[in-house]
Structure 1
Amino acid sequence: MIHTTHTLRVRYAETDPMKYVYYGHYATYLEVARVELFRTLGIPYDDIEKQGIWLPVSEFSIKYLKPARYDQNLEIHTFIKKIPGVRIEFEYEIYNDSKEKITEAKTTLFFLDSQKNKVVKCPDFLMNLILKNWQD
């Protein structure tokens, strides 16, 4: 398993009139956490794309347990719990300032050869980083 944590502060522009985070912003929060996970593995997301691999999202699910609010620091825990094949699955838990879990989510992305526009297996350069950082 791979696990990383990323912290971000909720900005006013991301909230609705109740000062709750507007639901559409959670997808962005998860993307930020995913990109930071790759950086933690040793590869910036841009370098994955420069090597000809795109990672489109094919599935997204989310469960809101409590609202995130303006100016809270959120901790986003991101997990890879399965070795990827042609797909890579991420699981997320978001916690508020009080360390209460407020959101659970999952995304599935697939590896796409950007030149051929074909689905491919996880490329070796990325698989090697995943395996190097894998913890039981």
Structure 2
Amino acid sequence: MSERTALSERPALSEQTALSEKTALSEKNAMNQPAETPMPSATVEMEVPFHDVDMMEVAWHGHYVRYLEIARCKLLDMLDYNYPQMRESGYAWPVIDLRLRYAGPARFGQRIAVTARLREWENRLKLDYVIRDVESGKRLTRGHSVQVAVGLADGEMLLASPPALSERLAAWQASQSQTSQSQTSPSQADPSQTADEDAPATPPPTRGTP
């Protein structure tokens, strides 16, 4: 490769590197949250009841929405911002978008695990869901829901989530970070209490009159 060719390729490589760095930065700054910031998730297990299935013993597709609701309420309880707290803060949070994709059926008597994970919160409340078979771990259903804050007094939709949500999420994240640090931080041993493996053993003190 000639020096001229190498020089001509440098701008393209620089642009590609810059694009990769920009993409990585955008992903890290998604929702203005650092990549290491914990986001809450909750899982509930349940057994598909008889009254939820059709004549083929398969859960009717509409009941899956209720399964998601149960997991969502557990997650909101973790933040201390379930529907009663929403109402007390002056906001309703109606669902404006709900999507489900069925990969496999849930059947009568089957134990399933429903996981809800907070995905977005700054301008809307978006949760992702996965339903799996407890025994095999096979994914049965995935989906997401989107809710927005609406003032109870004026019925106006907010373009940004209110502090009632963001402050609770920040408090939960802080508590999780403290818990994680306390579990992973190495204990600081007292140097005076640390035994030197190479040092000779110290004989035990003798008692009585020398």
What is the alpha-carbon distance in structure 2 between the residues aligned to residue 55 and residue 23 of structure 1? 24
- Identify the residue that residue 172 of structure 2 maps to in structure 1: 133
Distance in 2, matches of 1:130 and 1:123, equals 11
Note the residue ranges of structure 1 that are not aligned, 5 or more in a row: none
Q: Find out whether 1:96 has 2:133 as its counterpart.
A: yes
Secondary structure at 1:8's aligned position in 2?
A: strand
CA deviations 1:59-97 (Å, max 9, x no partner) are 111111110111222111111123x23311110001113
Alignment partner of 2:118 out of 71, 80, 85: 80
2:126 partner SS: strand
CA distance in 1, matches of 2:100, 2:118: 16
Secondary structure of 1:21 counterpart: coil
Partner secondary structure for residue 86 of structure 1: coil
The share of aligned pairs that are identical, in percent, is: 23
On the 8 A contact 1:54/1:114 being kept in 2, the answer is: yes
Q: TM-score, normalised by structure 1?
A: 0.90
1:20-62, Cα deviation, whole Å (9 max, x unpaired): 1100111111111111110122233212112221111111111
- Greater relative contact order (CA < 8 Å, ≥ 6 in sequence): 1
Deviates more, 1:43-52 or 1:3-12: 43-52
The structure 1 segments of at least 4 consecutive aligned residues displaced by more than 6 Å after TM superposition are: none
What is residue 32 of structure 1 aligned with on the other side?
Answer: 70
Cα RMSD of the aligned pairs, angstroms, is: 1.7
* Bigger share in strand: 1
Q: Which SS does the other structure have where 2:96 is aligned? A: strand
Q: Identify the residue that residue 60 of structure 1 maps to in structure 2.
A: 98
Cα shift at 1:123: 1.9
Q: How many residues align?
A: 135
Answer 1 or 2: which has greater helix percent. Answer: 2
Q: Is the 8 A contact 1:86 1:119 kept in 2?
A: no
- 20 and 31 in structure 1: CA distance in 2 versus 1, 3 angstrom threshold: same
Query: Structure 2: where are the runs of 5+ without partners?
Result: 1-38, 178-210
